[in-house]
Every structure is written in structure tokens, then in C-alpha cells.
A and B are shown apart, each in its own frame.
Chain A
Amino acid sequence: MELLKKYPKLFQWLFLLAVFFALCFAIDVPETYKFIRGQAEFVKDPNQSAFVFLGKEVRYYAFDVFWRLPPLLGWLPIWINDSLFFLMNDWMPMEFWNEDTQEYKTRPLVLQITRNLTAFMTFLIELIREILLGGLETIVAFTSWDWIDANPWAELPGLPWTIVAAGSAILAYKLGGKGLALYALLSMTYISIFGQWKPSMQTLSFILVAAPLSFIFGLGLGVAAYKSKRVEKALYPILLVMQTMPQYAVLVPALVLFGVGDHAAVIITMIVAVPPMILLTLLGLRAVPPEVIEAGRMSGCSNWQLMSKVLIPTARRDILIGVNQVIMVCFSMAVISAFIGAKGLGFNLLLALNQLNIGLALEAGLCISLIAILLDKMSLAWANKQVDYFGNLNFFQRNKNSLFFGVIVLVGILLAYFGSIYFKDGYNYLFEVPHNKGISTADFWNKGVDWIFDTFFVYIKAFNTWLIVDVLQPMRALYLRMPAVATLVLVVGAGYLIGGVRSALVVCGLTLFIALSPWWDRALVTTYMATFGVLVSCTIGFTVGTLCFQNKHSTNFMLNVCDIFQTFPSFVYLIPVMMLFGITDTSVLIAVIVYATIPATRYTIEGLRSVPAGLHDAATMSGVTKFQRLFKIEFPLAFPHMMLGLNQTIVFALFMVIIGAFIGTEDLGQYILKALSDKKGAGIGLTLGICVAFIGLIFDNLIRTWVGQRKKHLGID
């Protein structure tokens, strides 16, 4: 009894677990239950039950409601789908002037809007792409094909690679100094020499369109949310869901609205990249000291002046960190959107992975990572750069970089011209190294993969079998063995114990949505894979982080490693694991573990570092040993921050599990991938995406609530 009074929380948790297990044992597996069920495929089967809601018929296999809830939300994907089609094809038909046929044509409003948007995006992308690579489309957009035929000279020539490489080096020098400039020059030269110039520039042009647009929209919405509580409240749930929504899932509805190609990819990328920009803008504006705002007001600023001259410049750093985030999301999307036909490195990467040509995939992956790191470092350098004063410099000093670039352009054009005389065999290497004429290392890598397979096959295979048979299969079976009611009780109970009624209700709503969708079993598989990944990642991250923290140099080294790894587009992680483990669940899990270990490590280190120096000294002066200090002072204080790391780890793991569908899993991600090639996939894809997002949000809510209370309790923030 006394123990009960001393540790009431502990007993509450024990009681919850007891109820959970009791439910698990009390509810038997129905005899008719099998994992692969036809519900999601809408196969008609006489054993199925059916119900009709909102005019949509939903068919499903009925079980004991304690075992699996009936898919009462099964109409939702169908309904979303039908609504989308209705919007696109039948809603508000209007007369629109058609330039080509010179007559009015009836078209639904939404279709017209999306087509116009599409045309605009295509124009932007082509413009940038043709500046970099040359082409006709931009000129055609202003004139016509007939005009081009009549004037064969009219073609954008494109920039020689030498100019782009030197230009990026100058920009890098201006932003980040010599080191960054050297890196820019080397990586650009590498890309060119190894024959990846064209796809690289295609990817770059995609990013140069998507990133600025996302920035503008994100900044605008962020400012609007800052100014109006109502806008913020309206945006908040969307931002929350988008943070945990797998990027895959957005592809499908966009496919229906905008079709296939770069333009659709840009629009999707904006949808994914705008939320973090909004969040960081809001964060930055909120962090502006109130006295600075008052100083602006007392200087007689109008609202517009206050925003543009006081608030945004003062919040500059946070806003530019937002730009950095946007760029990172864009790279990640540059690969993923290859699924809907975006050109560039991502497309090559996907193609190579599909053909199991690991060497080619590695080359493409390397290039995309090189550019990603370059843009990441450049945008970070820009964010951290302090404004300089130019007032007392003369014209030449002020514009030396632009002047230098002008010289470079001239030299580059001259070089390209000489090149066209010197290289007579048709390829001007000083202008652009063609894709198949560069140095290729693909064979080398492929042979390496073969060698690894030949040499280590036995061990890899043994490890693989052990992991799948002895660890993964039992774990998966355990997860699937949970009756839906028991899971619900466990999750809601945890919500109640951590955050009271409010948390319990939120968590209950999120879980019910998944349980009532037709994909509960799939969600369980996703959760089991993510759980496994998170457990291993956290163990590794926690250990590595703690060990590295013991020494200042290793701390910095590790944080840098985390930075660089985080820059790689998520898809790139699949290449090396496929190299080693082929197409198995093991590959997916290893990718998940590697990817999710990054935040686990980073937050461990940051958490330990956030322990105030004063406490550290105080502990040392009371004569603690290193271990005592670690366990009695540092861990307890760093724990809340480390839990936020857990939160990030879960989100990262979920993302990677979903992307792992590409290798072949049988979870929610697999269905999202299927929905991509399904005509009626939009609703399914979106609903699946929301399911994944909700899994993430359940944990997010629990962890954040707990961390908030813990921090309050410890009096840190």
C-alpha cells in the first residue's frame, strides 16, 4: 500500500499493461482471419459483408468487433476520389478562350485552373532549364513553332559547364569563403567530367523553381499567420499533419490534378516544402524582441513598413534557415517525384534501381548528394552571414564579384568556342560533356557489388535469415495478434496517463481513424517495422551520442557527420543497403535504422550539451565521478530533449519505412505505391498518407505532452 502511494504513476501504468494483456489473451483470433484481405483491393467475394454510406458501397470481411473494427471509413477514399473527379470533369463548366483553335471551348473551372497552373510551371522550369542547358521551348512560348521554323537561329544556347561551375564557386566564395568555393568547383567539375551534367542541371532547374516558389508562399503564409490568430489556427492542423505525412502520399492526388511531369512535381514539392517554411517564419517573427517592434512603432512605421523593414530583417536568420529546410525538402522530392515523371538525376536513380544497376544508381545518388550538400552549405552560410557595410567602398570594390563573374562568362564562352573548333568529332567537351561520354565508374561499383556478394554471401544470407526468421517474423506476428480493442485501450490509456482527458481524446480520435479505415493490418505492419527501426536507432544513437559527448572534438565531428547525412535525399539511403542485402525486408530496415539514427544521435548530443555549465561545475565540485555526473545530473536533465529526439526518430523511421515500399514491403507504403499506378488511386493514396501521418501524430502528441510537463517540472525550457 505504501509503495502504491509512493509511486502512483508506476502502478497506473502496470494496471494499464495488465488490462492490455488481459484483453489480448481474452480475445481469440477468429478462425476466418488471414492477413491478406481483399478489402483494400475492392475484390468482390461472397464471404464479404457490405454497407452503403453516402451512396458508396463498401465491402469488407466482418470480424468480431473486438478483434478488428469494421472499416466504417471505407467510403472515404472512394468519396474523395469521386469528388476529385467531379471537380475536375463536371463542376462549373465555363467558356474559355482557346489560343490554338481561336475559339471558345467549354471546360470545367478546376480543370482550366490546373491546366493554366501547369502551363505556368512548365514555362518557368523550361526557362531555367534552357538557360542552363539550351533549348527552344522558351522562345516558342513567346512566339510560335512556325516562327522558329522560319528563324532557325533562334535558340537559347545554354551555358557552358565551365561558366556554371565557376559561377557557383564565386557565389560559394561570397557566401562561405574559400573552402566552400573549392568544394563547389570540385563537385561541379566532378559532375561534368563523369557525364552527369544534363540530368544534374535538370534537377537543379527543378529546384531553382520549386525552392523560390515555396519560399515565397511559405513566407507569405507565415506572415499572415503571424498577423492573424485565425489564419494560424486554420493552418495549424495542416502544418501538423504535413510534418508527419509521407511525401509519397501527396504524389497521388497531385497526379490526378496536375498530370505527369516536372510541373506536377514542382507543385507537389511546394505542398511539402511550404509547411516547414511557414513554421520557421512564424518562429522567427515570434522571436523578434517586443522592444524592437515597439521601437519600430515609435519610429512611426506603418504596418507594412514594420513588417518589411523591422520584423523580417530582424528575423532574417530564422527565415533563411527556413530556406535551407525548403532546399532540403526539394532535393528529397526531386527523387521521389521521379515516380510521376520528373526528369533529372532522380529519374536516372529510380531507373537504375529498378534495373538493379547499383553502379549507375550510386553515380546518380552521389551527384544528387553532392549538389544537395553544396546548396545546403551555401544556404546555411547565407543564413549565418552577417550583413556587411558597403557605404565607403567604390564601385569596383562593391561589384568585384559580379565583375569577376562577367569575366568568367566571357572566358567560358571563348573556351566553348575554341572547343567547338578543337573537338571535331561532334562533342564539345568544353561546352557540355554528354551523358555517355563521361568517365563512368558504374562498372567498378557493379563489380564491387558482385564481389561483396560472392565473398560474403554466406554471412549476409545467414544474418538475413536469422533476422527475418528469429526477430522480424515473430515481432510482426505479435503486432498482428493484438486485438484492435486492446491496442485502442493501450494507446488511449497511455494518452490519459500522460496528458489527461484532452490527450486521451486526441489520441483516441487519431487511432480510431486508422482502425476504422480498411488498412488496420497494414498500419500494424508499418508500426512494427518503424518500432523495430526506432528501437535499434535509439540504442545506437543514444550510445554513440553519449560516447561522443565525452570529448569536445568528437562531439563536433559527430554533429558534422549528422549534418551531412541529413542532407542526403532519403532515397539515396536505399542504394547501399540494396547493394549489400538485395531486395529484402532487411534492406528496408537497415535503411530505416541508418536514417533514423541521425536524429537520435543529434538530439542526444544536443540534450547533453544543453545541461547548464553551472550545474556541471557544481556537480564536479561536490566530488562526483564521471559516471555519477552522467547518471545523476546529465541524463535526467537532458532526458526531455532526448525524448524530442525520439519523436524525430519516429518520424524519420516512418518516412523510410514508407519509402521502403519501393524495395517491397507489405505495409501502408506498398498500397501508396500501388495507388500511384491506379486510376482511382487518389483517394486511397491520400487516406493512406493520412493514416501514416496519424501514426506519427499519436506518438508526437504523447511525447510532446510528456516533454512539456517534464520540462515544467524541471524548470527548464
Chain B
Amino acid sequence: MSEPVIKCQSVYKIFGANAERMLKEANGNVDAKTFQENGCIVGVNNASFEVSKGEMLVVMGLSGSGKSTLLRCISRLTDATGGKIFIEGQDLLNLNNKELIDLRRNKMGMVFQSFALLPHKTVLENIAFPLQIKGIKTEDSINKAMDMVKLVGLDGRENYFPRELSGGQQQRVGIARSLAVEPDIWFLDEPFSALDPLIRKEMQDEFLRLQEKLQKTIMFITHDFDEALKLADRIAIMKDGIIEQLDTPANIVLNPATEYVRKFTEEVPREKVLLIKDVMDEITSDNMGDIKVSKDEIIENVAEKILIQEKTVAVTDGKNNIVGSINPAKIINTVFGGRKNNH
């Protein structure tokens, strides 16, 4: 496998006057409570993970869990107190100011919860801003920005000011701005949290469409578990600065690592999250009907098809080879009874 785009090795972020000294003395054994008694607040506690190219890692946690702090460490908007962060092999914490600016100008884009648009610039100027900062000629940057305007579907509104746009439209500008320099790495900090539920759903779909087209390496922060399940390749669940579990959505739902994670999964409609392959059994010798289902289908979509069979159904892979089986009882169990098993 190629080198991971983002690689974190036991990253710590501790706020407070004596943060660094305390971290050293703690010897890798950071306890939030003792730190708090000494006037330090632990933001990120021993975070280690990798994100590979084209992957979308969603960091999920409630407010104060340190998810935004973690993102700010990786974009170096704040300096991590300890640990190592590599961006495409470059040691982020060792970059000098100029190299850091270069990295941001070319490799990184970021979307913010409150949109963070410049109030004195039009939509077009806002989107062209990172390009102009980079020193690209006005005309070229405007042309490029216009492409971005079209990409996020704001054509016709390019000369509006942010104050004249709705929340969803403003966030489209934010997204376009973060994509203007064609970054490889895309950070999104709760981009849809400030939007109404309907707009949020629309923006999520739009976002998935964009990602399918662009294939960026993404770190996406959210406090909404459903959003995480819907978008993620992998999910990291954070609590008190610690990553409680980092896994695929299906594994998190099926095998929550801690009590805390399990609480989130309780109310999740599993049939909408899990794929056939997540719950299928091995190939059995029972006689299986003619009906076959693909292992990459979401359960919800094929549940009816399986349930009316009243017998085991064959599961196929992309090349139509039979790779497993599934019977209606399993489906019913997954949808209705699965939760109790985990108690």
C-alpha cells in the first residue's frame, strides 16, 4: 500500500501554562482529571491513525470531545503539544512558516461550520481569494473561481455578497473556496451543522456527488452520528480527547468497542447502514433458490426480496460468484433483535 496521506503518531494537545512539562512528566499516560487539577485542559489525548489517499475519515464526537482540536492540530492552526504528524511523509510540526504557508496554499482546503466568508468580498472574490493570496493573476483566478461557482451550482449568484445568501448557499461558497486551489487534502469542520435539516440532507448528497468526482483525501468533523454513517469510509469516535473507536461504519454498528460507542449505535436503523456482506453467513449446502443478492447491497434495499423467499438466499460478489448465503431469519434478527445480543 502506498504511503498514507495523513499519519498521526500519538498526538497530544494540552491547553494550559505548563502543558509541555506536564506532558513529559506524564510519560505517555495522560489522565484528564489530574491535568485539570493542575490547570491544564486535555484537548487531544494520544491520537494515532492514518488516512490513505482518497479515503474519507469522519471524526465524530459531542461538543468538547476534542474533534475540532484534532483537526486544527492536523491543519496546524494550532500546534500539537506532543506526537508526530506527517502529511504525505512531510513532518508537519517541523515545517517553518514559509513551508507551512506553501503547504496550505497548494495541498490543503478547509470548510468551516460558520462558513467564515469574508463579508467585504463577493461570492466570486471569496472563492478567488486563496488563488489571489497565492499570487495568481486576477484574470486567471477569476476564471478558475468561476469554474468553482459552476461546480457548486451557484451560477448567476457570483456577484452577490455573502450577506445576501442563505446558509446553504453560503456553505456552497465555503466549499468552493476550499476547493479552488485544487487541494489534495480536504478538511471539513462540521460543515453542515449550522444548516436546517432539509438543506443539510441536500448538502450531504451534493457533497457525496462532489467526492465521487474529485476523490479527495478527507477529514470530516461532525457531531451527528447519522451524518457520519452516511458519509464515512471510516469513522473515529472521540470522547474527552481520546479516540474510542476507529473503524468502518458497519463494524462500529455491529461491534461497538466501548459502552460509549454502543450508546450511539443503539438507535441506528441498521438496515440502512449495514451491507449484506456485513451479516451474511458462509455458503451452506442447503438448497438455495434462484434469487441472488449482491454482497454490496444495503440490507434495506434487498430485505423484501429476501424475506418473501422463506429460504436461504445466495450472496454473490461483483463477478456473480457465490460467496455466501443469507436467510430471512438473519435479516429479521439484524433489523429487530440484533441490539439485544450486544447487551
Contacts and interface: CB of A to CB of B under 8 A. Distances in A.
Interface of A: 289, 291-292, 294-295, 297-302, 305, 309-310, 313-314, 316, 386-387, 389, 391-392
B116 interface: yes
B102 interface: yes
10 contacts: A291-B112, A292-B116, A294-B112, A295-B116, A297-B77, A298-B104, A300-B104, A309-B133, A310-B118, A313-B119
Interface in B84-126: 101-102, 104-106, 108-110, 112-122
A316 B120 CA distance: 9
B130 A300 contact: yes
Contacts of A292: 116-118
Contacts of B333: none
B129 interface: yes
B75 interface: yes
B159 A297 contact: no
Contact of B120 (A289, A314, A391, A392): A314
Contacts of B133: 299-301, 305, 309
Nearest to A295: B116
A316 B102 CA distance: 28
Closest 9 CB pairs of A and B: A300-B105, A299-B130, A295-B116, A291-B116, A298-B110, A300-B104, A291-B112, A313-B120, A292-B116
A309 B122 CA distance: 14
A311 to B, nearest CB: 10
B305 interface: no
A418 to B, nearest CB: 45
A300 B116 CA distance: 15
Contacts of B177: 295, 299
Contact of B114 (A289, A301, A392): A289
B230 interface: no
A521 B104 CA distance: 65
A387 B120 contact: yes
Interface of B: 72, 75, 77, 101-102, 104-106, 108-110, 112-122, 129-130, 133-134, 159, 161, 163, 174, 177-178, 181, 187
Given A291-B115, A299-B130, A310-B118, 18 more contacts: A291-B114, A294-B112, A294-B116, A295-B112, A295-B116, A295-B117, A297-B104, A298-B75, A298-B110, A299-B104, A299-B129, A300-B101, A300-B133, A305-B133, A313-B120, A314-B120, A391-B122, A391-B159
B159 A294 contact: no
B188 to A, nearest CB: 12
B101 A302 contact: yes
Contacts of B181: 300
A316 B110 CA distance: 24
Contacts of B121: 313
Contacts of B102: 300
Contacts of A387: 120, 161
A297 B177 CA distance: 13
Nearest to B129: A299
A401 B25 CA distance: 68
A389 B159 contact: yes
Nearest to B134: A300
A386 B134 contact: no
Contacts of B110: 294-295, 298
A295 B178 CA distance: 9
A313 B118 contact: yes
Nearest to B131: A299
A295 B172 CA distance: 15
B116 A289 contact: yes
Contact of B118 (A297, A305, A314, A392): A314
B114 to A, nearest CB: 5
Contacts of B117: 292, 295
A318 to B, nearest CB: 12
A302 B104 CA distance: 11
A354 to B, nearest CB: 49
A289 B116 CA distance: 8
B190 to A, nearest CB: 10
B140 to A, nearest CB: 16
Nearest to A302: B101
B118 A294 contact: no
A460 B107 CA distance: 80
Contacts of B129: 299, 309
A298 B174 CA distance: 12
Contacts of B120: 313-314, 316, 387
A291 B161 CA distance: 18
Contacts of A391: 122, 159
A389 to B, nearest CB: 5
A535 to B, nearest CB: 44
A300 B118 CA distance: 15
Nearest to B103: A300
Contact of A386 (B114, B161, B174): B161
Contacts of A300: 101-102, 104-106, 130, 133-134, 181
A118 B120 CA distance: 39
A47 B108 CA distance: 82
A428 B224 CA distance: 78
Nearest to B183: A298
B108 A298 contact: yes
Nearest to A292: B116
B77 to A, nearest CB: 5
Contacts of B159: 389, 391-392
Contact of A291 (B101, B104, B106, B113): B113
A298 B28 CA distance: 30
Most B CB within 10 A of own CB, among A289, A299, A392: A299
Nearest to B115: A291
A385 to B, nearest CB: 11
Contacts of A295: 110, 112, 116-118, 174, 177
A634 to B, nearest CB: 32
A632 to B, nearest CB: 35
B101 A386 contact: no
B63 to A, nearest CB: 15
A386 B134 CA distance: 27
Contacts of B119: 313-314
A300 B102 CA distance: 7
B6 to A, nearest CB: 15
A297 B77 CA distance: 7
A280 B171 CA distance: 30
A512 B159 CA distance: 62
A392 B102 CA distance: 33
A295 B163 CA distance: 17
A300 B178 CA distance: 11
A294 B178 CA distance: 12
Contacts of B75: 298
B77 A298 contact: yes
Nearest to A299: B130
Contacts of A301: 101, 133
